[in-house]
Amino acid sequence: ERLSPAGAADMAQIEGVIGLVGKDFTMLMTDSNCADSILIRRHDYDKILKMDDHKLLAMGGDHADMVEFGELIQKNMTLYELRNGFPLSTHAAANYLRGEVAHGLRSGGMVMLDFLLGGFDEHAGPSLFFLDYLSALHKVDKVAHGYPAMFVTPILDREWKPDMTEAEAFEVMEHCITAIRERFLVSMPSFTIKVVDRNGVRVLRKPGE
């Protein structure tokens, strides 16, 4: 049974979705829990979807929406590339995603998800976009969704810098994981970390690790 909007919004808050932009890459991290009400079903759920060779979409919220809506956006972006011969830029993809979320709000098909869209473009470089379930879109350097944001935002503010290397960014993510595990009420034993840069998408920490 599908969660009510209020219940789905609460579930989205329980999940951790974190991202940051480095010197020449964008890094995204989510917890790997798949939860339903008070039950944890899996600890190896991948919430970061590869949209194309240079874009990643991290999601938190209703898991049915993650599959249905995430794949809808992914396939439509692929269709755009096939029709036009080139992919959407990260900025264009973020605005397309926002438009679909906003349309759902107005048409009764509300998507109960929070998003981070990260990508790398040849001319614009790395970028990161914050989008919530009410379709508020912002371009950011570092950000987090959900209750875990209360614990990791000070870490991101203190340790992030514009020209940080991938190794430094990974260390920041490790500090965020430590803070969540030590301070957050909900158990998050495993996390997924992916990075996108000029060479494409790579997995730094697999779901369940």
pLDDT tens for the chain, residues 1 to 209 = 455 555 555 555 789 999 999 999 999 999 999 887 778 888 999 999 999 999 999 999 988 999 999 999 999 999 999 999 999 999 999 999 999 999 999 998 889 999 999 999 999 999 999 999 999 999 999 999 999 999 999 999 999 999 999 999 999 999 999 999 999 988 899 999 999 999 999 999 999 77
The single residue listed with the structure tokens 């790579």 is: 202
pLDDT, position 109: 83
**Are the beta carbons of 128 and 140 closer than 8 angstroms?**
yes
If you ran DSSP here, which 8-state letter would residue 203 be given? Answer: E
Buried b (16+ CB within 10 A) or exposed e, 133-165: bebebeeebbbbbbbbbebbeebbeebbeeebe
pLDDT, position 9: 53
pLDDT, position 1: 47
Considering the entire predicted model, what is its pTM?
Answer: 0.92
